[in-house]
Amino acid sequence: MIPEDNRFHSDPDGILADSAHLVDGWKVEPPDPGDRFTVARLTHLLREHERAGRGWAGASVDDVLVEVSERGLRMRENVVLRDPEGEIRAWGSVHDRAEGRMLFVHVVERGLPEEQADACSRLLFTWADEQARAVGTARELEVQQIDTGAFADDDRQHAWLEAAGFTKVRTWFQMSRPVTAEEADLVPDPDLWQRGEVTIRRVRRREEDGLPDSVDLSAIHQVLEQAFRDHFNSWEETFGEFVHRVREDPGHRWDHWWLAELEHEDLDGIGPIPVGALIGTYLETNNGADGSYVSYIGVLDDARGRGVAKALLHTIIADAATRGRDRVGLEVDADSPTGAHGLYEALGWQTKYVTESWHRDVPVR
């Protein structure tokens, strides 16, 4: 289950007030999610960070609120650095993602003088190290991983990460595929369709409140846990952590979840067996051209080679076309052992930009 109290230090001043990197007159404090000016400022910093790193901005207020809202803070902690005039110049966020894995967001204002920017960066890394020790201690670990990301072309971020002892460990292709209205016919019905022994269907919803069937949610969680068990940086996540986290996405919609089931000849009378799952989300853009996104897709080893992944992908494409959307996006590991990158390219996806994962292991005790 999700803890009622998070595992982090809640007082950044207690961690950083005596730091040699804190410039005279600057302050460290948690951001106030109820202050619209603070949220607007964080959104601006994040958008400028994206624009400098990949050439365009996509973050919204909702993306910031995922990190700083009361709900988000059940698994996160945040810090902002204010200059002597009270303006927020840098922002850090940590996320207790799963046992052994802590995500870290590191944003420093673009255009800040180099000496001040470097000092802000060092402060954020110092704060992240202490938060890693706190969450690692609470989870009774010897070592806590800090997992952070960078755009492939962001040289400033790369230099800071290397100086702080991080290592680039993975490259990710951020891919997109256009969708046409005619592709609504790509599958008979995105709600439920069958090809051979494989059935694709949306998760069942309860009539009384529209919430998903708990058995279906559990099946999706189990499929994804097993499908990614041997993949890069996979950490076991409890069912409660999993559902809480995926529901935080601003684009979360229960009707964007699908199960793939397989009739099993050796289990006659048992019913179809869940062998694949896809969790999609809704992408909203400022220019009115909405899209869909494949947040997770996984297929069990025993079911690979039966067209399950392709069927799931065709389903979300058809669903997007039915909704009048113009694209479907996804992320893929550049070194995926399943060769997923080739499948996506064959189905029309192209790389739009590239990101990286950078890691640092922090001794807890």
Enumerate domains of the chain plus CATH numbers. Answer: 12-165 (3.40.630.30), 175-355 (3.40.630.30)
115-124, 130-139, 259-268: segment of lowest average pLDDT: 259-268
Token pair belonging to 10: 């809640």
- At residue 1 the predicted structure's pLDDT band, cuts being 50, 70 and 90, is very low
pLDDT at 15: 80
- Separation between Cα atoms, residue 233 and residue 226, nearest integer Å: 14
- Separation between Cα atoms, residue 80 and residue 348, nearest integer Å: 41
pLDDT at 97: 86
The better pLDDT of the pair 312, 266 is held by 312
pLDDT at 266: 54
pLDDT at 3: 47
- Specify the pTM: 0.89
DSSP lists the bridge partners of residue 314 as none
- 175-219 confidence digits (pLDDT tens): 999 999 999 999 999 999 998 889 999 999 988 888 899 999 999
pLDDT at 287: 66
- 22-51 confidence digits (pLDDT tens): 878 899 999 999 999 999 999 999 999 999
Mean pLDDT of 261-265: 78
**Which contiguous run of DSSP H or E holds residue 80?**
strand 76-82
Q: How far is CA 256 from the centre of its chain?
A: 16
| 83 touches 70 (CB < 8 A) | no
Residue 86 DSSP one-character state: S
Distances, alpha carbon 68 to alpha carbons 57, 112, 136, in Å? 20, 23, 21
φ/ψ region of 324 (left if φ > 0, alpha if ψ in -120 to 50, else beta) reads: left
pLDDT at 286: 55
pLDDT at 98: 83
Amino acid identity of residue 96, one-letter, is D
Burial 178-198 (b: 16+ CB within 10 A, else e): ebeeebbebbeebeebbeeeb
From the list 332, 341, 262, the residue with the least C-alpha distance to 295 is 332
Mean pLDDT of 52-81: 91
Question: For 179-231, where are the E strands, in sequence order?
Answer: 192-195, 198-202
- Separation between Cα atoms, residue 53 and residue 57, nearest integer Å: 9
Amino acid identity of residue 59, one-letter, is A
- 69-95 confidence digits (pLDDT tens): 887 788 899 999 999 999 999 999 999
Token pair belonging to 40: 């607007």
| Helices (runs of H) and strands (runs of E) counted in the chain | 9, 13
Environment class of residue 337 by beta-carbon count within 10 Å: exposed (0-12), middle (13-18) or buried (19+)?
exposed
Tabulate helix, strand, coil % of the chain (nearest 5): 35, 30, 35
Mean pLDDT of 124-149: 95
